[in-house]
Amino acid sequence: MALKTHKIHKLPEVLCLKLNRFLCDEEGPFKLNGVIQLPFEGLDLRYYMDILISAFPEENSRYTLISIISHEGDYPNAGHFTCYSLNCVTNKWFHFDDKNVTQVSEDELKDVEGYILFYRKECVSKQRIIDRMKLLKSLSIHEPKNCYISKEWMIRFYSFCEPGEINNNGVKCEHDKLLNKRGYTRITYPVWIHLKKNFKGGPFVRDEEFCLICSEVSNQFSHSFNLLIRTVSALPQSRRTISRSFSTFTLNS
């Protein structure tokens, strides 16, 4: 008898586990029914890493269950899939069954026959950074928001346990300046210093880094475009197609 094992090389932000419920023998495919006791919190993957456990920081290897896909039915080629998911803001679980969504308790989840499981990395250290950032925001409320940070990176910051280094390397224009400010959000200097100290990366971006020439052209275009959308939206439905064609012609000519 052989034993097959897997070791994890790099821990993901979201861990997706598929249980082997659908198998096949000489009589054909069959399904393994039955409830499996799932750890809801504190699933520690350090023990499944391909490096020494002691070399891995404990607080970055624990996972919390956030979603379960369940297969209802006794046969692999028939049945019904439903999903249970955690609202991470309210900390409440919901059952999604086609168009029906109902709240469920954690006790009810213990009887669910999970098929695919989703775990999210717990963020002990990042929560400290977020708390510190909230404090800095409140303390620097009268400071000018004259620094910029990539919106894309901020989404990573709020969504991921480990968002990686700050990446403010936006698209540069022909004048070797950043193209526009839409991809950035304004922050105060103390908040920038705090984030930079914790995540490194960069570069530091101020107003001077954006191109005045290109942003003026971009503003003019978006103003014309918004005006066009408002005009077309105000027209009766039957005249919109003609107006769109005409407007495209006007813009291109």
- Where along the sequence are the contacts to Zn ion (CB under 5 A)? 173, 175, 211, 213-214
Cβ neighbours of residue 148 closer than 8 Å, sequence gap 6 or more: 168, 181, 184, 185, 186, 187, 205, 206, 209
- The answer to whether residues 149 and 192 touch, using CB atoms and an 8 Å cutoff, is yes
Instruction: Quote the CA–CA distance of 71 and 80 in Å, as a whole number.
Output: 6
Q: Which two tokens stand for residue 232?
A: 């077309």
CB nearer Zn ion, residue 172 or residue 200 = 172
CB nearer Zn ion, residue 49 or residue 214 = 214
Phi, psi (5° rounding) for residue 15? Answer: -95, 125
Minimum distance from residue 217 beta carbon to Zn ion (Å): 8
3-state secondary structure of 34: coil
Minimum distance from residue 251 beta carbon to Zn ion (Å): 21
- The answer to whether residues 190 and 138 touch, using CB atoms and an 8 Å cutoff, is no
Phi, psi (5° rounding) for residue 156? Answer: -60, -40
CB nearer Zn ion, residue 61 or residue 180 = 180
Minimum distance from residue 186 beta carbon to Zn ion (Å): 20
- CA neighbor of 21 nearest in space, from 115, 106, 90, 146: 115
Minimum distance from residue 249 beta carbon to Zn ion (Å): 28
Minimum distance from residue 201 beta carbon to Zn ion (Å): 24
Instruction: Quote the CA–CA distance of 148 and 183 in Å, as a whole number.
Output: 9
Instruction: Quote the CA–CA distance of 140 and 62 in Å, as a whole number.
Output: 34
CB nearer Zn ion, residue 200 or residue 206 = 206
CB nearer Zn ion, residue 116 or residue 179 = 179
Minimum distance from residue 176 beta carbon to Zn ion (Å): 8
CB nearer Zn ion, residue 113 or residue 209 = 209
